[in-house]
Amino acid sequence: MTPELTVDAKDPARTTIAEIAGAIGRGQVVVCPTETLYALVADAANPSAVERVYAIKNRGSDQPLPLMAADVAQVEVAVGPMGGVGVSLAAEFWPGPLTLVVQARGSIDSRCLAADGSVAVRVPGHVVARAIARAVGGPVTSTSANRSGVDGVARVSDLDVEIRGMVGLIVNAGTLTGGAPSTIVDVRGRVPKLVRDGAVAWSRVLRSLA
């Protein structure tokens, strides 16, 4: 049976975060909370761990994995500069459910990149998720903990039985808010482009840049 850790969603113990980060550092895929749904989290710089995320989700290799990071500094060190539009949106909406598509220039595994070399990344609005990325020392994968084409879960008890058996650790932070996934915005150009509508309304994104 896959081990399960219960964590305080608002004030996670350092020892618990260290244990989670250790599992990720050893190449395991871990179910972790975000501000909306539970996610499959793995070291984005570990090719075998990233490949396992694809296998667990039964996800096509043409669908790059989104990432989450501890803060803007971690994004710029591991991924690369976000540009003016990206910096402005990050200042307004991070931490939170806004994912930015930027050009990757760092050490992120190629399976997390789109064909054009871009990567989708955000700083999540959940204390535990940010603490994990900080403890790992770099961005981690952040794709919903479900099979492709199936709804994500806001409670650990709703995890697919097969997924439970394929991950190395489950982190239980209670019932999450659920709802829409993160909004995805391409910020590589001078004008942002909406890739996927979601938790942050597109109108709010545009107003923040006006």
Average pLDDT over every residue of 69-97: 95
**Residue 189 CB neighbours (<10 A):** 9
Q: What is the pLDDT of residue 160?
A: 96
Is it the case that residue 1 has pLDDT exceeding 90? no
CA distance 21 to 41: 10
Say which residue the tokens 């790992």 belong to. Answer: 136
Percent of the chain at pLDDT exceeding 90: 90
CATH for 139: 3.90.870.10
Strand boundaries in the chain, DSSP class E: 4-6, 30-33, 38-41, 67-68, 98-103, 118-122, 140-141, 143-144, 169-172, 183-186, 193-196
Average pLDDT over every residue of 28-41: 97
What CA–CA distances, in Å, run from 116 to 69, 112, 188?
21, 11, 11
Are 126 and 36 a contacting pair, CB within 8 Å? Answer: no
Contacts for 175 with CB less than 8 Å, ≥ 6 apart: 154, 155
Q: Read off the tokens for 155.
A: 């409670």
130 falls in which pLDDT band (50, 70, 90)?
very high
Average pLDDT over every residue of 147-151: 92
Give the total number of structural domains in the chain. Answer: 1
16 falls in which pLDDT band (50, 70, 90)?
very high
Parent domain of 124: 4-209
Q: What is the pLDDT of residue 10?
A: 94
Q: What is the pLDDT of residue 107?
A: 74
Percent of the chain at pLDDT exceeding 70: 100
Bridge partners, residue 30, by sequence:
41, 169
> How many angstroms from the chain centroid is the CA of residue 100?
11
101 falls in which pLDDT band (50, 70, 90)?
very high
